[in-house]
Every structure is written in structure tokens, then in C-alpha cells.
A and B are shown apart, each in its own frame.
Chain A
């Protein structure tokens, strides 16, 4: 039996090719995913390990502060001991602000895994070494000065009375640094400042004598030739004593080697990023494999149909049903195993190539040189690929057992259409689909109308999955009808198309499976791009309302409005001239006292003045400024909340030039200042300086490019002005959506590619099956071009029906998904991503045509003489 199976396989090698390719792609996908997961794990480990390269020992769980450092330094054999302390600080130069982690400089620079590219490490207080890219962004070089803006806790120790003061200090850039091992790549790089400075900044964040209570990590270097084991114990003792003095948990104190430390930290982190990543991508690999399974099932169905005679003969000479089934399954196992191994090798090759390319590009993360082979990377793809093939062959194997011995005696007939699927399946699958769609609707209703976004989303997702399963399982019943309908449409165009349409209906199961494979991929791609388009529009509307100003340049941020310096004269005009800037509104402001019923007595805010019409020319949405009129103060919601202002109440503002009675109008304006008309502001402060520029951009999508030019213009004036771009946030949000969409679509594209191979597979199998028929058609006057045309129409019909249905389903899922996910952000918008839709249909059309090329070449080679052949 095995010999027979092998010889049959050899004869059908060409027919198995497409199925094999489908498995190869699917398993390669799995292999690459697992490899990438490994790379993430190992770069995580490497990056953690790099932080400790220079140290001989690492003390963990120690008490923070100088006491521990001193205690450890006193241990015999210890050369240096430094707490690894990082303080996040705001660094500014000109109009640019960067939030940066600053590392306390260790006593022994060898402990620092950073290299100096220019200048030197800080030597004196007030110096700082910056990562190269940060220095570039701040536009400074060694010797230049930057501003450190930090908050200092002042006042009494009574918690209620605590208040923050912003302190601005000048720091001198001592040098620039590179992070060759990516030690701090996960923290956005690290600047270095003298340990005393960094400790001082951290201390200023706490009350006197207070401690963060967070366990600290110390990096220790030892004198040459010291016994590590003994010193380790002595250090543990010293650190433990220091910890118990500080009232901390002594048992947490632990002294390890850098490698041990990196390993334990990395293993804490596994189950984090890499697992999420791997799971996420494996979902797409599973989709690709599902589609591959459909292609495989189709192939085996055709093989069994074509071998009916042989199978029947075998039954006549005494083979029993289980032998036939085993033969088919054995063939599937062999095919699956061989293809999976090829897929694995392809995956490993791809992974290695990707690493090489990645190392060539400067990704900021040092990638390993070679891929890491683990048992999982090798076994999982092979086992999964083989299993999927085997499972896909189950139904065809059962069909093989149904071949009656009598079939051997019947005259040679073209294999007839497969039996329709059972009624139970129809009822069940339709039920599942209906329930699924109902849940989907319920999910949307829950998250929009009922305001239960989390429940709504969960119900919606469950409904989406259920309905999709229902749709796919029931496809065999309704999809051929859709193809028939489409066939009738194209059939009107002539006999070739009519032949093609009739051909697609000869084996409804095969056509359904082929179209379904494509439908899966297209639906998911369509869903993602529809959801992204809807999300974009919904969020645009949301952003317009919330951040009506694209970019603001202001000198009165962070509550220091009292002594605000005005925006330099002429800056408004300069900005207005910049490319990409549509309009600029100069906004005068002053500091005022608020008074009114229920309003906090200490209420002091900034009041801005602007003309509603002029404001409208800058704002994306004037909604939050609609109430603005003489005698009205528009109060942003967050300001109203802080000071206890209620909508509609009478509010007395008092400025340097006197008081003003207004009516408060609380709106969603995203600002920390109240807004008045210019005349009202003049009543409060006749000499109110212009402290802000409101800038409208031509296209907020260009914010990432335009905002830096505004920053440059501001920096040139050397005024202490902040440039805030809501548009930047908006653009980066859009970029997140676009990037996520791009990645997801790229991952789904694998499934679509496999499905398209499936279309070609189905066509070429049909061509082989219809050899005699093609010859007959040629004998009665079908030209070669018509034969090619017939197959092209067949391919296009199968592909387009799958794609059109997929797009429609994708739109439904995309819209409902966006509605369920973004229902909280107001009325969800419904968008049709026309470009993507047309692209997908175009790809399906072209793919259908291309899929018919190879089969058509085989078909036209068939001589009409074969119609007359008897066997």
C-alpha cells in the first residue's frame, strides 16, 4: 500500500505543487514569527546585560541613598560602588523640549556602557553629557548651554500645603554619548550628569529626609585579584545592615553577578513583550495556515476524484476502506512533512536575511548576528504544518472510502460534482452566523447607546468571530449561488463567458472553498482598513473639538503667567510666512483673579483675549468657543473643575486695571486659561502682552514636518517660548493607526497570497480534469484565444466573487468594530476606504487573470485529437 501511495504521489507531483507552496508559506511564516520572538527576547537580555557590563557584582534590593554606597565601599576588596540612579528631566533649548532620563555618573567610568563620541563625561557640577541624537535635536554641541526645567517641592511638610515650583537652571553640555550595546534603548537613551547633581534633583522631588522607598541597584567593581565569592558575602552583609537601618526588607538584598542579574531580569520580562508579539503575529500565521488548509483540502479532493477508478480497482481486488483512508492520510502526512521542512528552512533563511538587513539599518537596537535555533523554532512549524495538512486531508480521505468497487466497471466518466453538504451543517452554520451578527449589533449598541465600551467591545468581538465562522462554514451553500449570479451577469457577454460561468458551478464545493480562502483574507484586510479609516475620521472630529488649535507658541505655560515675557514682536509674522502655516492669531493674555459663588478663593488664572471671527480663522472647530461674546468668559472644563466654576454662573474677574463682571460658559476647550473678547480683556489689563500665537496649519497631517520649522523660528528669537503642537499628537496618532494598519495588512497579505495560489491551483486541477472536454471544445471550433479567455473568466469570477464578498463583509466588520471600539469618542463615523477597496478588487482581478495563465497554457497544448481518444 505504501509503495502504491508513493507511486501515486509521484504521478500527481505537479498537482500537489500548489498545496505544497501553500504549506511552505504558512510554515515559513510560523518559523519567522518564532525567530522574531527569540530575537526580541535575546535583544532584551543583551540590552539588560549591557547595562552591567563594566560591573563585577550587582547589589539588588538595597536601600537607596548614600548610606548603602558608603557601607559597600567600606567592604574590603571593593573598588567602587555606585547606585544606578536615573532621573527623568525636562531639557530645553530654544523652542525645543525633550524629556530625558539622566543617569548618575558612576565613580568608575568603566561601569558605564556608553561611549563618548565628542567632548567628555561631566566633570563638574552643572555639566551634562547628552546622547548624540538628543544633542542633535536640541541643536547643541559640547560647550553649549541648555536649560533644565525641573520641579522642586517646597513648603511645609504638611502634605496639603505642598506646592511645586518650577526651577530653570542652565547646564553646560560636556559631551555627547553613544549607546553601542543598546543598554538604554528601552528607556529612550540616557544622558549622564554628576552623581551629586542627579541625587540632588531626585531629593528635591521629596520632602526633607524622605526617601522614595524604592529598592535600589548598586554596581560594584572589585580590586584586582579579589576573591569574588568572599567579597560577595561581605557585601551582602554590609548592604543588609544598611537596608535594616533604613527600615527596608533585608531579605530582598541580594548580590549577584551581572550575568545572573540580566538573566533574572530578562526572564521576568519574558511573558511580556516577546510573548505578546509572538501571540499577536501567530494569530495571523494561523489565518494563513487556515487558508492553506483550504487549498490543501481542495487539492486532495480533486486527487481522490481523479483516482476514483484506481481506488475502485483497489477495492475490487480486496483493499478495505481503512486501507484507502490510510493511503490518502499517509500521502498528506508525507506532503505536509516535506513541505513543512522546506517552509522551516525558508523561514530560517528569511529570518537570517532580515537580521542582516536589520543590522545594516541603524535601528538603535543591536541585533544578534545570527538567528537562535531553539527546539520550538524547529519543531513547532514542522509539527503544525504537518498537522494542518493531515487535518485538511480528512474529508477527502473519507471521500476515498466512499468509492464503490463498482466504479471501476463504469465507463470512463469525468468526475462528477461532489455531494452537497448536509442539512445539519446548513442550519447550524446559519444559526451561528445569525447569532453572531446579533451579538455584533448588540456590542455596537452597548458601546455607543448604552455607554458600556468595554462590554460592548467584548460582545462585539465575540459576535464578529461567531458570525464570521458561521459565514465561512455556510459558504458552501450560498457562495456558489453568488458565483452563479455573477456568472449569469458575465454570461451575457458571449459563449466563452457562459462556458466559464457554467464551469465554476460544476463543482460548487471546490469553487466555494477557493473563493472562501480569498474571502477570509480580503475580509480581514477590508475590516482593518475600514476600521482604520473610520477611526481616523472619528478621531479627527474628536481632535478638532478637543484641540482646536494646531500649534500654540506661548510664553505663559506652567502657571508662570504672572511675569510672562511677551512673544517677541515680529515672530507672528515670521511664523505666518512659514511653509505649511495657514494662519496665525496673536493672543494677548493677563493674569486674573476669579471670584463668584462656590469659586475657590485662591482662583488665579490666565485670561486670553480674542475676536471670535479672527479665532474662527485659526481654529479647526469653533465649537468650544461658540459662547464667546462680550460679557462672557469661556472657561475650559478642567479650569472650571479645579476652581469650582459652574456653567452660567456670574464670575467676577479682577485684573491689574480693575474688575469685570462676566457670565461663565464652561466648554470642552483644551486650555488652562479663560477666554474673553479683546475689549473685555482690555478692561482687565489695558497693556496685556501678547503671550501666545495660535497657529493653524494647511494640513495637520504635515504637523511632524511643519512644527519643527516653527520651533526653529521660535528658537532663533531666543525667547523662552514653548511650542506645543496638538497637531503633532494628532499626526503621531494617525501615524500609529497607519503603521498598525500597515503591519496588520502586511501580515494578512500572506493569507491573501496563499488564497491566490489556491485560485491558480483550482484552475489547473480543473484543467487537468477537463482535458477531454477542452479537446472536444477545440474540435468543435473553440479557438485557443477563446479557451484562454474561458479560463481567465473562470479565474476572475472565483477571485472577484471572493474579493467583493470579502470587501462587503470587511466593511460591515470594520464599521461595527470602529463603532464598538470608538463609541466612547462620540458619534462613530462611517468611512469607506475607497482606495484600499479598489486596490483589493484590482488585485483580485489581476490575480484571477494571472492565476489562469499557467493552466491556460496547459489547456491550449491539449490537441483536439484527445477528444477522440478512447482512454
Chain B
């Protein structure tokens, strides 16, 4: 039995300092992805080098079509790179076959989708525990309890997705992403389908997961207000890293985004 007690990390503690950052949770080296050929060739990612620290909440921000989603897919091993490398911990995911990638997805990474993507025929609890069951493991009841409490899902566990609001569904999806205690959780526009109030709620939960539960989250967004919840913002434009903001505020994030647009406009 795993009897680990998760000690909440105080809000004011420097997040990165909570553990020594020996290796970053996720790394990209000269990561390149092109779609199509010849005339129609699109260079969605162009030699990206970036590190994502463990125990941090990082936002990837950029204009629409800048390559945010592509970067995330490659980092998570969902899609194959044209060249370059991507690492989760010390594992190079760019070189793995489907079987090994499935193993990585089961234990090392979690996903939160814009469309929630819960299974309609299962209850909230069944949805949350599904990844562990697919991997053939046993659900850590204590960790499940912690997640449910943190995400405020206590009364909703027996409900099916159709009986839940969008915000609630996304919180269930976050719990599902965290249940296997992955090294990193990727979230692609997690608030894209939510009203601003539910969106804010979901973002605070993501931040609490990092601060209180010691998780690592990489979130893709085009919304400066959402990016401001993160510890750090990585800016991307035209498939290249275009900037880095630590401890962003909505204002600084917006300013960063505007700067990109000005660059692009010029």
C-alpha cells in the first residue's frame, strides 16, 4: 500500500525550489515538424529548444496557428516529429514505438482536452479511475480522495457526464489526468469550451494541483488571462520560441502576445 501523505506546499514557497531541478520534466531539442510537401509544405514547428521544469505550471501561448498544439502533441508523444527530440523525464518519446508510447501515456503523462472527452456511458468516478484500470493497476484510494476533495467533486462521483456542467466535466477530466500520478499533465485549451466563470474555476484547480499536490502541468492557451494562472509563460510564434515570461500577470501576458503580433505584422 502506498501511504504517502501529500503535504501541501505553502503558497509562498518558491515552487521550483521545492525539489531540486535535476532534470526538467519535459524537454525539446531542435524539435521540427512539417506538414505536407513541396509547395504545400507548412513548417508548424521550426527547431524548438525548450525545457519545462518539474513541479511548475507552464503555459504555452501564441497566436492561432503558431504551432502550440503541434508542440504539445510532439512533447507528449502523440504525433511523430520530422526531426529533433522530445523528452519526458529522461525518456526520449520521439524514438518510441506505439507499445512503449502507450506505456508512457499510462504512467508518465496525463491529458486534459478542450472537449473534456469523458466517456458518456461511465460515471464520473469510473471515468476518473479508467486510466489506472486500463494499465491493470489498482486505484490508490487515498490519492483519489485527495483529488476529489481538491477538485470539489465529492457529490458528483456517481453522475454521468451528461448530468454534469461543462466546468464539472472538465474537473472530472483533470482528476482523470492526475489519477495515475503522471510526471506531467498536458492541457490543450482546457477552458476553450467553458464560460469565463467555469474557466477561472478550472484554472485555479490546475494551479492548486501544482501548488498543493506537487504536479507538473503544461497548458496550451491563446488567452492571456488563462496564461496568467501559470508560473511561467513560453511564447511561440511561427513555430519558434519567441519569448519567456516568469510569474506572468494578465497584463504582462497580453503585452507579450501583442509584442509577437507587432513582430508578425512587421
Q: Chain A residues in contact with chain B, CB under 8 A?
A: 411-412, 414, 416, 494-496, 498-499, 502-503, 505-506, 772-773, 776-784, 786, 863-865, 867-868, 870
Q: Could you tell me if A870 and B115 are in contact, using CB atoms closer than 8 angstroms?
A: yes
Q: Could you tell me if A781 and B102 are in contact, using CB atoms closer than 8 angstroms?
A: yes
B247 within 8 A of partner (CB): no
* Interface of chain B residues 142 through 195 with chain A (CB within 8 A): 162, 176-177, 180, 188-189, 192-193
* Interface of chain B residues 102 through 152 with chain A (CB within 8 A): 102, 105-106, 110-111, 113-115, 117, 119-122, 130-131, 133-136
Q: Identify the 7 closest CB pairs spanning chains A and B, nearest first.
A: A781-B106, A495-B133, A776-B117, A502-B121, A783-B102, A780-B131, A781-B134
Alpha-carbon distance A867/B110, docked complex (angstroms): 13
**Residue of A502, A772, A782, A863 touching B122 (CB-CB under 8 A):** A502
B99 within 8 A of partner (CB): yes
How distant is A405 from chain B, measured CB to nearest CB, in Å? 22
Residues of chain A with a CB closer than 8 A to B98's CB: 783-784
Alpha-carbon distance A870/B102, docked complex (angstroms): 23
Q: Could you tell me if A867 and B121 are in contact, using CB atoms closer than 8 angstroms?
A: no
Q: Could you tell me if B79 and A865 are in contact, using CB atoms closer than 8 angstroms?
A: yes
Residues of chain A with a CB closer than 8 A to B208's CB: none
B78 within 8 A of partner (CB): yes
B73 within 8 A of partner (CB): yes
Q: Chain B residues in contact with chain A, CB under 8 A?
A: 69, 72-73, 78-79, 98-99, 102, 105-106, 110-111, 113-115, 117, 119-122, 130-131, 133-136, 162, 176-177, 180, 188-189, 192-193
Q: Could you tell me if B117 and A867 are in contact, using CB atoms closer than 8 angstroms?
A: yes
Residues of chain B with a CB closer than 8 A to A772's CB: 115, 117
Q: Could you tell me if B114 and A868 are in contact, using CB atoms closer than 8 angstroms?
A: yes
Query: Which single residue of chain B is at the shortest CB-CB distance from A502?
Result: B121
Given the known interface contacts A502-B122, A865-B78, A868-B78, the answer about A782 and B134 at a Cβ–Cβ threshold of 8 Å is yes
Alpha-carbon distance A780/B110, docked complex (angstroms): 7
How distant is A863 from chain B, measured CB to nearest CB, in Å? 7
How distant is A678 from chain B, measured CB to nearest CB, in Å? 80
Residues of chain B with a CB closer than 8 A to A496's CB: 134
Alpha-carbon distance A414/B160, docked complex (angstroms): 14
Alpha-carbon distance A870/B72, docked complex (angstroms): 15
Q: Could you tell me if B113 and A503 are in contact, using CB atoms closer than 8 angstroms?
A: no
How distant is A781 from chain B, measured CB to nearest CB, in Å? 4
How distant is B116 from chain A, measured CB to nearest CB, in Å? 9
**Residue of A495, A502, A784, A868 touching B113 (CB-CB under 8 A):** A868
Alpha-carbon distance A515/B133, docked complex (angstroms): 29
Alpha-carbon distance A779/B122, docked complex (angstroms): 17
Residues of chain B with a CB closer than 8 A to A495's CB: 130, 133-134
Residues of chain A with a CB closer than 8 A to B189's CB: 870
Residues of chain A with a CB closer than 8 A to B193's CB: 411
Q: Could you tell me if A786 and B78 are in contact, using CB atoms closer than 8 angstroms?
A: no
Q: Could you tell me if B192 and A870 are in contact, using CB atoms closer than 8 angstroms?
A: yes
**Residue of A411, A499, A782, A865 touching B73 (CB-CB under 8 A):** A865
Q: Could you tell me if B131 and A781 are in contact, using CB atoms closer than 8 angstroms?
A: yes
How distant is B211 from chain A, measured CB to nearest CB, in Å? 24
Alpha-carbon distance A414/B162, docked complex (angstroms): 11
Alpha-carbon distance A864/B98, docked complex (angstroms): 11
Alpha-carbon distance A411/B135, docked complex (angstroms): 31
Q: Could you tell me if A781 and B121 are in contact, using CB atoms closer than 8 angstroms?
A: no
* Residue contacts A-B, CB under 8 angstroms, 28 given: A411-B193, A414-B120, A498-B133, A503-B121, A772-B117, A777-B119, A777-B134, A778-B102, A778-B105, A779-B78, A779-B113, A780-B105, A780-B134, A780-B177, A781-B106, A781-B134, A783-B98, A783-B102, A786-B134, A863-B78, A864-B78, A867-B113, A868-B69, A868-B72, A868-B73, A868-B78, A868-B113, A868-B114
